[in-house]
Chains A and B, each alone.
Chain A
Amino acid sequence: MTPTADPPAPDLSVALGRLRLANPILVASGTFGYAREFAPLVDLSTLGGVVPKTVTPQPRTGNPPPRTVETPAGMLNSIGLDNDGVDHFCAHHLPYLSGLGTAVIANVAGKSPDEFAAMAAQVEQAGGADAIELNVSCPNVSGGVDYGRTPEGAAAVVSAVRAACDLPILAKLTPNVTDVPSVAKAAAEAGADAVTLVNTFTGLAVNWRTRRPVLGNGIGGLSGPAIKPLALRIVYQVAQAVDVPIVGCGGIRTVDDVLEFLVCGASAVQVGTANFADPTVSGRLVKDLAAAMSEEGVLSVRGLVGTLGPAKTAQAVGTPSSSRESDR
């Protein structure tokens, strides 16, 4: 072997419209607390960014327990946006988050476009947030989800927030609609810098003996590895149809999962349920992504985004075995 110079470290930086990130590994709202809970376990400064738990205009008690239940390769949750309200968030959590040395994407949920806009303005005014993610997709409360169900509703919320605040905007969309691309298109045209795809899929766990739902609130939102193919399909469909940066989310827990979302069209990803089952996973994925790209000779994340080609027919399959993971 002839000694060769180390190849340059891959460029992990990405842009979501006006928001620049050091790398594409984010953590999903509602799975990372207010980040402080992970401080003993993860070097938070290495992450592309953190998305703290959704905040609402007023404090919310949340739903009665049981709030989560495990299902095959996934979990259902109905937490109900338990939070202490936006005033507390700005006074207590934002000062901590802003000192972490990573991008802070504050996630807000209101019951009307005006509430969304007022919260976004308040968060911007408080300082410390780099972007706003609009939760127009929580399945567990009445309010925000209704706006995310239609292109008009999503556009109304994004427009109001865009008018009220200058921070980059991510619209987090629900998969529980027939046509996600049309909602994503409306959000983008209304001024969203990026769309986060996807929030949880509504689901139900039941105890047939007691004839009752398992969760205290009945229906919940499904997350975890079980939903990854569903999320990939939606990311791919939106990437094909709409020219807007996508943040992929749904069942990500390995670097292969990250790369699958990137090639399907996501510019960045959010790690969600895996944070519960493997608390150090987010920091590890940043390192694993750089290592995997170096190994493959890929120079930049941006060069990977949306590179998925058409499906090959059986006769045309001729790829070397190293590029295929067998399921046998």
Chain B
Amino acid sequence: MSGPHAPAHEPLAHEPLPHADAVQTIATVGLQERIARDTFRLVLECPEIAARIEPGQFLMLRLPGRDDPLLGRPFALYDVGSDGTSFSIGYVVIGKMTRLMTELRAGDQVELWGPLGNGFPKPPESNAGPTLMVAGGIGQTPFLAAGREILGAAAYGERGRFEASAHPPELLYGARSAEYVAEVDRFTSRGISVSVATDDGSEGHHGYVTELLERRLHADPRPARVLTCGPEPMMAAVAKLCEAAGVPCWASLESPMACGFGACFSCVVRVKQSDAAEGWDYRRSCLEGPVFRAETLVFD
């Protein structure tokens, strides 16, 4: 694995791609459950990918035997099952593909390829400050595995198990309203503290999750780093707050993509580059992300 600090240029011939150990395979649905309004958790029996995938990485899922939808769709790892042969994803129904996915039942088959992309950076030293994980909506899903890895509670892929952090990770979780808040218990029961913010005040803080972040960035113990995933305006605001506070921040982007492994050049994002005419260049999120150091990104 080239890891989360892959250089911001095209990999050279001898440099491994982030998907060097990717496979294309058929997986069997183990379980599907509704976890919030329009929001589902899908468990997939797939030993090859379960054994390889790391927090922050993703996979492409396609419904077999169909021309429509034609392409796969990217989904982040939610967590790997305790038996190590299955993993879960979370998704929210937003269109044609996700509507069809709600019809999947145990025993159905789906096509997968992965693991893809670079995951979150490895957990910091155990005595560093806590990791803050700032999520918007379905952007909470990558943080269950990320949090459990920081707690030393689970090992993923070839990264192995990390020493438990002296500071448990904290999830700051923003959603539109209480009915969209999914599986807080799944986080808290595993030792990840959760603070919720809702736009309408129906649960937790009434307002934006970035308001929770601003408060937390200036409290003790001082955060060692911030990981964020969610709508782009939210991540842009998170990045700005972190920069002002001098806390390193990584953003996991959700760019639309056709292939997931660098062939289609559709998932490009603007990455700062001093020698480019505009000061940035388009880079493939699937190969150089989806997790980027936030300060390297040009947000709209």
Residues of A in contact with B (beta carbons under 8 Å apart): 30-33, 36-41, 53, 61-62, 65-70, 72-75, 77, 79, 82, 84, 92, 95-96, 224-226, 273, 275-280
Contact = CB atoms under 8 A, between A and B. Distances in A.
A30 B265 CA distance: 8
A96 B256 CA distance: 29
B211 interface: no
Interface stretch (B63-71, B188-196, B288-296): B63-71
Given A277-B62, A279-B113, A33 B262 contact: yes
A66 B285 CA distance: 13
Residue with the highest number of chain A CB atoms closer than 10 Å, among B12, B68, B267, B269 = B68
Q: What 6 A-B pairs have minimum CB-CB distances, sorted nearest first?
A: A37-B262, A68-B266, A276-B259, A73-B67, A33-B263, A96-B13
Nearest to B97: A70
Contacts of A73: 67-68, 70
Nearest to B256: A66
Given A62-B265, A82-B282, A277-B62, A41 B71 contact: no
Interface string B9-23: 011110001011111
Contacts of A41: 22-24, 113, 261
B258 A79 contact: no
Nearest to A65: B268
Contacts of B68: 72-73
B98 to A, nearest CB: 13
Given A68-B264, A224-B70, A276-B263, A36 B256 contact: no
B268 A67 contact: yes
Given A32-B263, A279-B263, 5 more contacts: A36-B11, A62-B265, A92-B12, A276-B71, A277-B72
A82 to B, nearest CB: 5
Interface residues of B, number: 38
Given A96-B13, A273-B70, A278 B111 contact: yes
Contact of B265 (A53, A69, A95): A53
A7 to B, nearest CB: 31
Contact of A65 (B10, B17, B266): B266
B263 to A, nearest CB: 4
A95 B262 CA distance: 19
Nearest to B278: A61
Contacts of A225: 67, 70
A224 B68 CA distance: 11
B27 to A, nearest CB: 15
14 contacts: A33-B262, A65-B266, A67-B264, A68-B258, A70-B70, A70-B258, A73-B67, A75-B70, A75-B258, A79-B265, A79-B266, A276-B72, A277-B70, A278-B111
Nearest to A37: B262
A31 B263 contact: yes
B45 interface: no
A40 B262 contact: no
Given A40-B19, A68-B256, A225-B70, A279 B24 contact: yes
Interface in B27-74: 62, 67-72
B17 A37 contact: yes
B70 A280 contact: no
B281 interface: yes
B255 interface: yes
Contacts of B287: 37
Contact of B261 (A37, A53, A226): A37
A41 B113 CA distance: 9
Given A62-B268, A277-B62, A70 B71 contact: yes
Nearest to B22: A40
Contact of B266 (A32, A67, A278): A67
A37 B113 contact: no
Contacts of B281: 61
A227 B20 CA distance: 32
Contacts of B113: 41, 279
A33 B268 CA distance: 14
A23 to B, nearest CB: 21
A62 B71 CA distance: 22
A232 B17 CA distance: 36
